[in-house]
Structure 1
Amino acid sequence: MIKVEGLTRVYGSYTAVDDVSFECQPGRVTGFLGPNGAGKSTTMRVMVGLTPPTKGNATINGKHFHDIPNPGRTVGVLLDASAQHGGRTGREILTLGAMTMGLPMSRVDEMLHLVSLTPSEAKRRVKNYSLGMKQRLGIAHALLGDPEVLILDEPANGLDPAGIRWMRGLLKSYADKGGTVLLSSHLLHEVELIADEMILIGKGKIVAQGDRKTLMAHAGPAETLVTSLDNDALARALQGKDIAVTPAGDGLRVACEPVEVGRTAVEHHIVLSDLRSGDGGLEELFLQLTADTAREADLSTPNGAIA
């Protein structure tokens, strides 16, 4: 279990993390989401003892990281896949980790196999690895001590689509066995597919947290986009239920959940060719909640126009 309480980290006049509190429970994957510079990495660095907090606490299984004996057996960490000794081979890096943690050398081969690094790749120096291979090696090192907790910062960087799918399955399986996973990313879609709970951070502050259903409740009234073989008849049927309907491209935008649109279509024997949520999903909510941290101008407004 990870517990963060009133965590603040200040650098001179700049506050990187501002009174952040949350918990990550065993058996669950928690997504830690935010734009670049939002405070994700700083929070994780405090968790694992690399950065001292200005105020507040971050504990793992009730202890500060520096108080955990043989911490690699309790918490696996991957904060920067490129921060590995470039002159050593992948096997050497895992071997040194195993020796430090008092693990049998057989564990090295198990981890290489788990992350699909071949024997020839394991003999190559890390400076010759692609970013995706470095990520796989970093994940192998994080899992080497069979820890109860995983803290991973942007582990999907550099992985191809097959690698990202593999990582999702690996982390989900780890949580299903009772492990605690904190996964930082700005890839909302990928985190949405795996996370049981999500924490959104912007400008160092938590702006929302909860499961997808809870978060989407913040997004306002539901909307549905629908196209049918008789849009006029469907519009009349929906308006007869006091549901607002407006034209949208080849179909309709309806102010209700998709299930109600589908139910109405069945009642009136109207064939649907397209039915989907009209809200922007988690991505749209994320952009709304972190709008004041975005670097990109909104080109849809005069103030966002490019001169």
Structure 2
Amino acid sequence: MIKVESLTKTYGGFTAVDNVSFVAQPGRVTGFLGPNGAGKSTSMRIMVGLTKADRGTVTVGGHDYLDIPNPGRHVGVLLDASAQHAGRTGREVLALSASTMGLPSSRVDEMLDLVSLTESESKRRVKNYSLGMRQRLGIANALMGDPQVLILDEPANGLDPAGIRWMRGLLKGYAERGGTVLLSSHLLHEVQMIADELVMIGRGQIVAQGTPADLLRESGTFFRAVESTQLVEALAAAGIEASPVADGYRTDAEAIEVGKVAAAHQITLIELKLADGGLEDLFLELTAETQRESYQTGGAA
């Protein structure tokens, strides 16, 4: 389990993480989502003792990470796949980790096989690895000590579609065996497919958390109609507000309420459903003020 309580970190006058609290439970994959600069990486660095918090605490398995003896045997970490010794071979990188953790050398071959790095690839220097290969090597390193907890920052970055599917199965299987997985990602569709819990952060603050189904259910109803303007006006007359989203509209009202208003005014509905267009719409809506690019909920201006 990872327990984050009232975590705060400032740099001068800039607050990178502002009173962040959440729990990543064993047996579940927790997705940690946010735009660039939202505070994800800073939070993860604090979790593993690389950055000191100004206020708040983080415990992993009930302990401060820095107090855990031989931490690689308990917590697997991948924060930057490029932060590996470029002059060493992949095999050498893993062999050093195994030796440091007091593991047999046979563990190196097990991990290479697990992440599908071939014998010839393992003998190449890391500087000649693609980003996807470095990610695989980093995941192998994180799993080397058979830890109970995984903390992964953008683990799918650089992986091809087959690699992303492989990683999805690997992490789901890990969680199903009782492991705790916390991963950050910008690949929102992939997170939606793998995560049991979601924590969304913007400008250093938690903006939403819960299961994907609960968050999407709370996002309201999406609808499209032939007579869209007429339906929006009819809904407003009934006290129901609707706002443009993509090629339709979103409202906090239940779908049955929208359907009843449309039927009463003989309006032709094209689409009526939970606003489950995926995490991307929800993510952009909740973090709209933190995005570099403006989020257009309607058509082009």
Tell me the TM-score normalised to structure 2 length.
Answer: 0.83
In structure 2, what is the equivalent of residue 247 of structure 1? none
In structure 2, what is the equivalent of residue 45 of structure 1? 45
CA distance in 2, matches of 1:15, 1:188: 25
**Aligned pair 1:28/2:28, yes or no?**
yes
- Measured on the aligned residues, the alpha-carbon RMSD in Å equals 3.0
In structure 2, what is the equivalent of residue 103 of structure 1? 103
In structure 2, what is the equivalent of residue 3 of structure 1? 3
Tell me the TM-score normalised to structure 1 length.
Answer: 0.82
**Aligned pair 1:296/2:285, yes or no?**
no
Residue pair 2:221, 2:273 contacting (<8 A) in 1 also? no
CA distance in 2, matches of 1:104, 1:159: 29
Q: Which consecutive unaligned segments of at least 5 residues does structure 2 have?
A: 232-237, 241-247, 260-269
Size of the aligned set, in residue pairs, is 275
**Aligned pair 1:283/2:280, yes or no?**
yes
Task: Report SS of the residue matched to 1:8.
Answer: strand
Task: Report SS of the residue matched to 2:218.
Answer: helix
Q: 1:79 to 1:256 in 2, by over 3 A?
A: same
CA distance in 2, matches of 1:280, 1:274: 12
Q: For 1:100-140, what per-residue CA distance to the aligned partner results, in whole angstroms no more than 9, with x for missing partners?
A: 00001110000000000000000000000000000000000
Task: Report SS of the residue matched to 2:221.
Answer: coil
Q: Give the CA deviation at 1:297.
A: 2.8
Q: For 1:192-243, what per-residue CA distance to the aligned partner results, in whole angstroms no more than 9, with x for missing partners?
A: 0000000000000000000012212431x3235699xxxxxxx9xxxxxx9x
Residue pair 1:226, 1:253 contacting (<8 A) in 2 also? no
Q: 1:107 to 1:198 in 2, by over 3 A?
A: same
Residue pair 2:255, 2:272 contacting (<8 A) in 1 also? no
In structure 1, what is the equivalent of residue 118 of structure 2? 118
Q: For 1:134-153, what per-residue CA distance to the aligned partner results, in whole angstroms no more than 9, with x for missing partners?
A: 00000000000000000000
Q: Which runs of 4+ in 1 moved over 4 A?
A: 224-227, 252-258, 273-279, 298-301
Could you tell me the percent identity over the aligned residues?
A: 68
Q: Which consecutive unaligned segments of at least 5 residues does structure 1 have?
A: 228-234, 236-241, 245-251, 262-272
CA distance in 1, matches of 2:148, 2:275: 40
**Which segment drifts farther, 166-175 or 279-288?**
279-288
Q: 1:76 to 1:275 in 2, by over 3 A?
A: same
Q: For 1:21-69, what per-residue CA distance to the aligned partner results, in whole angstroms no more than 9, with x for missing partners?
A: 0001100000000000000000000000000001100110111111000
CA distance in 1, matches of 2:290, 2:61: 32
Task: Report SS of the residue matched to 1:94.
Answer: helix
Paired residue type of 2:152: L
In structure 2, what is the equivalent of residue 61 of structure 1? 61
In structure 2, what is the equivalent of residue 214 of structure 1? 214
